[in-house]
Structure 1
Amino acid sequence: MFSLILAAVCAVLYVRWRSRDRRMLRNGVVLVAGIWLAFSGVAELLTDLVPAFGFVWLILLALVPLAALVLAGFLIANGLTMLRREGRRLGNLLSLLLGVAVFALPIIAVALLMTDQAWAIGLAALLFVLSGYFGVVFVVFLAYAVAYSRMGVEAEPAAVVVLGSRLIDGTPPPLLKSRLDRALELYRDTEPRPLLVPSGGQGADEPRPEGAAMADYLVAAGADRGDVVAEERARTTEENLRYSLQVQAESGRPGPAVAVTNNYHVLRAALLARKLGIPAEVVGSPTAAYYVPSAFLREFVAVLVEHKWLHALLLLPFVAFVGFLVYAIAMTY
């Protein structure tokens, strides 16, 4: 019963914080915590009412290792697909590396415990702590990324910013076309028509600025040339957002802005907009299914790096406990 009360508290916090600002990752923390507490509370009630349900939960718990193996197999298969279709860049290796880690870490942990050495037991405990911590953080990130991407646009946008990505042979590839098509949907569904700001500078391997190529695509697809103003300097997501809002201000189209990117990038772009103090929501466009796992992992790593000191602080008590454990074990030898 206590779990259900805590779940209700989390639900209230989630609604309140989300209504205040949807672009906060702490919304995801209380969302996941509330779902877990509600599930635990319902499981406890069912077990009290029907004791046989206790065996069901034990069976589900026993299936966790099998689920981990299935997940590892999926990640490895996806990683091989990414290598075949996208090349051998580090970002494309993430799902493969994670799948191998899911297989290997339990084996490494058992091997360390079998050495019967204090430092090895401590290292095994540290691997367990780190895996558990980052696993929970990833679940929070993924759950709220999905939740945020389904919220839609609250107000009619005065400007629709399209975040750029690399061109291929001077034209938008399918990944970027997906963003542009989503922007066109918003453009056609809004009255009066919003300003379209395709944003992206020129990379070293690109024959023209991304913004210019994106603008040509939008006009060719039916957007009024007078409603399209390209931003051609940005090289990062932060610059996409800042420079595009400058373009909107200079174009005399005041009002709320919406940024468009692919669905895997939505939450990080929204978090960044909030950090920069930019009053813009972010919406997503579809992405090829095989590309999504590695893309989400890249976004997760990027968010971890952006908040590295916060995570280091949160991990400190756990690491200190592992250190104390190693010391206590060493003293017994």
Structure 2
Amino acid sequence: MFNKRINKWVKSFMTYMAVFIITLIILIVSIIFKVRSYGDKYILDLNDLPKNNDAIIVLGAGVRSDGTPSDILADRLETSIEAYNSGLGSTFILSGDHGREDYNEVGAMKKYILKNDIDEKIIFMDHAGFSTYDTMYRAKEIFKVDKAIIVTNEYHLPRALYIARKLGIDAYGIKSDKRQYQLMDSYKKRELLAQIKDFVYVNILKPEPKF
């Protein structure tokens, strides 16, 4: 009798766990699909993007040990310059990681931009761009951006646009992919987790950035 009760309890527990896991998987897949499908609508080619935006927001990436932008970051910057020269925005917001004295993404980004005869006065720097959510929050609340072009890689753009628009920025995106990049597979895997996290952030938790 006792063994029958144990077996019944185990079966019930396993059934509940199976239902929970299936429900969780469906929820995760639904969130990822929602973020991607929402953001994809606002990714356009250079010639199709709306002009006269408040800012061109460039999202940071790795910097080499000599202080120069990595390939992935250099291509984001090149794309942002193309966008600026096409009249898509009047200022740059360069957002990246400057959490240590010996590592400065935004400094490297600014140096790169200035080599292209662009006025330093229109370059604004977000030194605490540790996450895409933080960057978009400060773009809206600190830099007072209402309309923007976001420049980053294709895998990253849907989430960046989803966050920006949910925070009240009329944002469109342009892909910066100009070549093959190392570690792209790992970036894409991490992006799945980031999409879930930021969906929760913009729809439920709505935290303020630390900086």
- What TM-score does the superposition give when structure 2 sets the normalisation length? 0.68
Match of 1:64 in 2: none
Deviation at 1:302, TM superposition (A): 2.0
Asked if residue 265 in structure 1 is aligned to residue 156 in structure 2, the reply is yes
Task: Note the alpha carbon deviations across 1:13-54, whole angstroms, 9 max, x for none.
Answer: xxxxxxxxxxxxxxxxxxxxxxxxxxxxxxxxxxxxxxxxxx
Task: Note the alpha carbon deviations across 1:51-110, whole angstroms, 9 max, x for none.
Answer: xxxxxxxxxxxxxxxxxxxxxxxxxxxxxxxxxxxxxxxxxxxxxxxxxxxxxxxxxxxx
Deviation at 1:231, TM superposition (A): 0.9
Contact 2:140/2:168 (CA < 8 Å) preserved in 1?
no
The partner residue of 1:235 within 129, 132, 140 is 129
Q: Distance in 1 between matches of 2:152 and 2:61?
A: 9
Match of 1:66 in 2: none
Deviation at 1:173, TM superposition (A): 1.2
Q: How does 1:299-314 map to 2 (within 5 A)?
A: 299-306=194-201
Q: How many residues align?
A: 191
Q: Distance in 1 between matches of 2:196 and 2:133?
A: 17
Match of 2:85 in 1: 188
Query: What is the identity, as a one-letter code, of the residue corresponding to 1:296?
Result: E
Q: Distance in 2 between matches of 1:144 and 1:226?
A: 34
Name the structure where strand makes up a greater proportion of residues: 2
Which protein is bigger by CA-based radius of gyration? 1
Query: What is the identity, as a one-letter code, of the residue corresponding to 1:164?
Result: G
Deviation at 1:279, TM superposition (A): 4.1
Q: How does 1:132-151 map to 2 (within 5 A)?
A: 132-150=26-44
- What TM-score does the superposition give when structure 1 sets the normalisation length? 0.47
Q: Report 1 or 2 for greater relative contact order, CA contacts < 8 Å, sequence distance ≥ 6.
A: 2
Contact 1:195/1:228 (CA < 8 Å) preserved in 2?
yes
Match of 2:4 in 1: none
Q: Relative to 1, partners in 2 of residues 1:198 and 1:137: Cα closer, same or farther, differing over 3 Å?
A: closer
Q: Distance in 1 between matches of 2:56 and 2:204?
A: 33
Q: Distance in 2 between matches of 1:246 and 1:126?
A: 38
**What are structure 1's unaligned runs of at least 5 residues?**
1-114, 311-333
Query: What is the identity, as a one-letter code, of the residue corresponding to 2:196?
Result: V
Could you say what secondary structure the match of 2:123 adopts? coil
Contact 2:140/2:146 (CA < 8 Å) preserved in 1?
no
Q: Relative to 1, partners in 2 of residues 1:291 and 1:147: Cα closer, same or farther, differing over 3 Å?
A: farther
Contact 1:159/1:248 (CA < 8 Å) preserved in 2?
no
Match of 1:123 in 2: 17
Query: What is the identity, as a one-letter code, of the residue corresponding to 2:77?
Result: L
Deviation at 1:199, TM superposition (A): 2.7
Q: Distance in 2 between matches of 1:294 and 1:133?
A: 18
Q: Distance in 2 between matches of 1:223 and 1:258?
A: 20
Contact 1:231/1:247 (CA < 8 Å) preserved in 2?
no
Contact 1:157/1:257 (CA < 8 Å) preserved in 2?
yes
Q: Distance in 1 between matches of 2:137 and 2:17?
A: 44
Q: Relative to 1, partners in 2 of residues 1:172 and 1:308: Cα closer, same or farther, differing over 3 Å?
A: same
Asked if residue 156 in structure 1 is aligned to residue 47 in structure 2, the reply is no
Deviation at 1:121, TM superposition (A): 1.9
Match of 2:6 in 1: none
Contact 2:56/2:90 (CA < 8 Å) preserved in 1?
yes
Report the RMSD for the aligned CA atoms in angstroms: 3.7
Identity of aligned residues (%): 24
Task: Note the alpha carbon deviations across 1:168-208, whole angstroms, 9 max, x for none.
Answer: 322211221121111011022228x732332335222x525
Asked if residue 215 in structure 1 is aligned to residue 106 in structure 2, the reply is no
**What are structure 2's unaligned runs of at least 5 residues?**
1-8, 206-211
